[in-house]
Amino acid sequence: MQLRPIKAILVLILVASLAAGCTVNNQASSVSTAYPTAGRSVLLQGIEARYNASAVNHGYEDYKVTWVNNTTVAVHMKITSETEVTTWDYKFTHFPTINGATAYFDSHELRYTDKPDTAEHASLYALVTGVKNSSVSKEVTIPSGNTTYHLEQIDSLIIESSSRVLPSVNATVAATATPSPPQLSQEQLNAIQRDMEAKGYNITQALKQSGGIGTSANGSTFYKGAITQGGIQYNLTVEVCKDNATANSKFTSKVSDLQKSGIVGSYTSPTQWSGVSTLNGIQVNSSVTKSATGPPYTITTIE
């Protein structure tokens, strides 16, 4: 992701908002660029005042100014939109001389890869100092993942900064909110089969997943197996539903399907239906059982 335009827009907004003037004088000032002999740098105080005014006008979500020492000040800002969280961190250092700043810039320049035509803080520097044509104005940048790092020199001022863009919490939640399709562990399948055996059935084919996980029209996952009782083989199907409402609907629908096929039965409980039919004069039992609790929300059918 290319972050440089975001930083450029921020600086333009900063300068434009202060030129419009809400909190401070809207005219270019003439703050001294002389290196301080005592106390804080007047140049950096002027830059701080402009950033403070911008913060008041724009109401950044997170804004903080930290004086590292009398000649270095750090500014942190953060803005959150519905889709992105953008963070800026600046460190302004006032060097005693232009040559000193140049030496620092040159010693760090090689680690950067891009060289814009002008330093992005040049217009702000001119607004603060009244110096429209500085002796030195240059910048280099390097992108690294979601962050772009910047190094600027404007006369005796060095600006080291970074701009970072990440998805907002809302965007992240929206992208990850879809629940995983329902499925059963092997331990849960074994428990169902043990329950069948306790009811007098023999497992002739263990339950195995049928089709993809959550690939049915309603997002269910199916497991199929085979059991026998009294010499009759039955199909055993377990449907794992995505929620309780779906399970209730599928339970009613499955009972209705069996009744339509001629199987006569009744509800032995709100979650259990048992039916009987005959095949070649032999009684055949059928049942539909909905799990009483969940998740998982299951419909177990014997037919």
Structure tokens at 44: 């950096």
Looking at residue 13, its pLDDT comes to 47
Q: Which of 103-117, 126-140, 162-176, 276-290 has the lowest mean pLDDT?
A: 162-176
Tell me the CA distances in angstroms from 293 to 69, 185, 273, 301, one per residue in order: 64, 17, 17, 17
Q: How confident is the model at residue 170 (pLDDT cuts 50, 70, 90)?
A: low
Residue 165: φ, ψ to 5°: -125, 125
Q: Is the pLDDT of residue 293 over 60?
A: yes
The C-alpha atoms of residue 261 and residue 297 are separated, in whole angstroms, by 25
**pLDDT digits over 12-63, tens only?**
445 444 444 444 445 557 899 999 999 999 999 999 998 888 887 776 788 9
Give the helix ranges, DSSP H, for 219-299. Answer: 244-260
Burial call 196-207: b when 16+ CB within 10 Å, e when fewer: beeeebebeeeb
To the nearest whole number, what is the mean pLDDT of the chain? 82
Q: How confident is the model at residue 6 (pLDDT cuts 50, 70, 90)?
A: very low
Q: Which of 80-94, 137-151, 231-245, 256-270 has the lowest mean pLDDT?
A: 256-270
User: Helix, strand, or coil here: 10?
Assistant: helix
pLDDT-above-90 percentage for the chain:
29
Average pLDDT over residues 261-271: 81
Structure tokens at 62: 């997170």
CA 157 from chain center: how many Å?
37
CB atoms within 10 A of CB 298: 23
Average pLDDT over residues 122-140: 91
